[in-house]
């Protein structure tokens, strides 16, 4: 299975929100879709699933183009689920009834509903009516509905909203489990560090297109990462390639540093840093700061 978007352009009236967006996602993949509010993440989902008209471009699944005909759109909807909006839940129905409904609409007779409920720790409330649920309980229900629908392609818009840290971790690990089933999952999220726990690749949407992509597996360069205010920078040896980002985030590349230099730099940074100093590759959080908030790179010591 593959999901491909070719030269996708979307306008709302005279305003262009997406311009010439291109990507091709193979199966067994989770993509993190990242951008500030109002950039076009939901628009991208809506366009692929043809909830909104496409100005130009093509949507392909397994190298077949899906046009805006009733037949093609119906087939598209049988292959893709979109994370339900909490407002779409029926207050007087139980969670189980919602989960069964999603399984039946997508004919996923094979979905074991009891397994889904148990994996998401919903046994304690799932038989009660939705009107008795908290925000986080509703969110887990929406996620369970998608798992029960069991489509090959899943669009998850803000799935972590309202979830406490334990449930964020639970949903993150279930995502990793289900992707192994040949799925393509795109998750739009503002929980940047959490995306590094499960996404294979991150797409940063900016200036109407996929501005930058980053592969978690391929980020090999290591950095010393911490925080330091500008007036304290003089206490550090600033190496070539050092990134000084918004919010006083500093990332100093390890390349060419001796063990002693690493130790000394970490010690100095720990002294001035308001939060933990760590060693690691640049993550989604750092790329986000770099792309949307600007960076200052230091070329020389
Ligand atoms: N139906 C519409 N008519 C006109 N403009 C729209 C419409 N829907 C969205 N927009 C505009 O398109 C842009 C992208 O909106 P979209 O909802 O796709 O952003 P988003 O990245 O999903 O944001 P968020 O993170 O807040 O969910 C915004 O400027 C928004 O105002």
Taking the C-alpha atoms of residue 128 and residue 130, their distance in angstroms, rounded to an integer, is 6
- CA-nearest residue, atom 24 of ligand 1: 37
- The predicted pLDDT at position 298 comes to 57
CB atoms within 10 A of CB 39: 21
Q: CB–CB of 95/144 below 8 Å?
A: yes
Around ligand 1, the residues with Cβ closer than 6 Å are: 12, 17, 35, 37-43
Q: Please give the distance, rounded to the nearest whole angstrom, from the Cα atom of residue 207 to the centre of ligand 1.
A: 14
Q: Please give the distance, rounded to the nearest whole angstrom, from the Cα atom of residue 291 to the centre of ligand 1.
A: 20
Q: Please give the distance, rounded to the nearest whole angstrom, from the Cα atom of residue 66 to the centre of ligand 1.
A: 24
Q: Please give the distance, rounded to the nearest whole angstrom, from the Cα atom of residue 17 to the centre of ligand 1.
A: 8
- The predicted pLDDT at position 132 comes to 97
Q: Where are the alpha helices (DSSP H) in the chain?
A: 41-48, 70-79, 95-105, 113-119, 135-149, 165-179, 192-198, 259-272, 284-293
Q: Give the C-alpha distances (Å, rounded to integers) separating 240 from 64, 257, 296.
A: 47, 11, 11
CB atoms within 10 A of CB 208: 16
Mean pLDDT, consecutive 10-residue stretches, the chain (301 aa), reads 96 95 97 95 95 95 95 94 94 97 84 92 97 96 96 95 95 96 96 94 94 82 92 86 90 91 94 89 91 69 33
- CA-nearest residue, atom 13 of ligand 1: 38
Q: Please give the distance, rounded to the nearest whole angstrom, from the Cα atom of residue 144 to the centre of ligand 1.
A: 26
Treating both helix axes as pointing N-terminal to C-terminal, what angle do 135-149 and 95-105 enclose, rounded to 10 degrees? 30
Taking the C-alpha atoms of residue 5 and residue 40, their distance in angstroms, rounded to an integer, is 15
ipTM: 0.97
Point out the ligand 1 atom lying closest to the alpha carbon of residue 44.
18
- CA-nearest residue, atom 26 of ligand 1: 37
Q: CB–CB of 242/253 below 8 Å?
A: yes
Which of 10, 11, 17, 205 maximizes ligand 1 atoms within 8 Å of its Cβ, making it the mutation to test the pocket? 17
Residue 252 CA, chain-centre distance (Å), reads 26
Local structure of residue 154 (DSSP, 8 states): E
- CA-nearest residue, atom 29 of ligand 1: 38
Sheet holding 15-26, edge to edge: 15-26, 2-12, 56-61, 64-65
Point out the ligand 1 atom lying closest to the alpha carbon of residue 36.
25
- CA-nearest residue, atom 7 of ligand 1: 12
Which of 43, 51, 192, 204 maximizes ligand 1 atoms within 8 Å of its Cβ, making it the mutation to test the pocket? 43
Task: Break the chain into its structural domains and give their ranges.
Answer: 2-215, 223-298
CATH code of the domain made up of 2-215: 3.40.50.300
3-state SS assignment for residue 39: coil
Taking the C-alpha atoms of residue 48 and residue 22, their distance in angstroms, rounded to an integer, is 12
Point out the ligand 1 atom lying closest to the alpha carbon of residue 43.
18
Taking the C-alpha atoms of residue 139 and residue 92, their distance in angstroms, rounded to an integer, is 17
Bridge-based pairing state of the strands 209-215 and 201-206: antiparallel
Three-class SS of 246-283: HHHEEEEECCCCCHHHHHHHHHHHHHHCCCCCEEECCC
Q: What b-and-e string marks burial along 258-293, b requiring 16 or more CB atoms within 10 Å of the CB? A: eeeeeeebbebbeebbeeebeeebbbbbbbbbbbee
Taking the C-alpha atoms of residue 280 and residue 53, their distance in angstroms, rounded to an integer, is 43
């Amino acid at each position: 299975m593959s999901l491909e978007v070719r030269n996708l352009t979307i306008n709302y009236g005279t305003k262009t929100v997406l311009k010439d967006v291109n990507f091709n996602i193979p199966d067994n993949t989770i993509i993190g879709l990242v951008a500030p509010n109002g950039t076009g993440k939901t628009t991208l989902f809506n366009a692929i699933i043809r909830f909104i008209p496409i100005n130009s471009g093509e949507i392909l699944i397994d190298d077949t183009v899906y046009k805006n005909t009733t037949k093609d759109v119906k087939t598209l909807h049988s292959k893709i689920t979109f994370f339900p909006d909490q407002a779409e839940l029926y207050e007087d129905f139980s969670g189980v009834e919602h989960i069964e409904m999603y399984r039946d609409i997508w004919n996923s007779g094979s979905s074991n509903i009891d397994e889904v409920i148990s994996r998401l720790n919903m046994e304690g409330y799932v038989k009660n009516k939705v009107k008795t649920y908290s925000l986080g309980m509703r969110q887990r229900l929406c996620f369970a509905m998608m798992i029960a629908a069991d489509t090959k392609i899943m669009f998850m818009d803000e799935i972590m909203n309202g979830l406490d840290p334990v449930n964020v971790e639970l949903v993150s690990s279930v995502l990793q489990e289900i992707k192994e089933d040949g799925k393509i999952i795109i998750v739009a999220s503002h929980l940047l560090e959490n995306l590094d726990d499960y996404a294979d690749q991150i797409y940063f949407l900016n200036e109407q297109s996929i501005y930058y992509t980053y592969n978690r597996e391929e980020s090999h360069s290591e950095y010393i990462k911490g925080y330091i205010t500008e007036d304290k920078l003089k206490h550090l040896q600033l190496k070539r390639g050092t990134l000084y980002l918004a919010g006083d985030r500093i990332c100093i590349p390890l390349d060419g540093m001796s063990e002693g230099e690493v130790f000394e730099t970490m010690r100095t940074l720990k002294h001035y840093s308001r939060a933990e100093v760590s060693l690691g590759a640049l993550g989604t959080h750092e790329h986000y700061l770099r792309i949307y908030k600007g960076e200052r790179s230091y070329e020389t010591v």
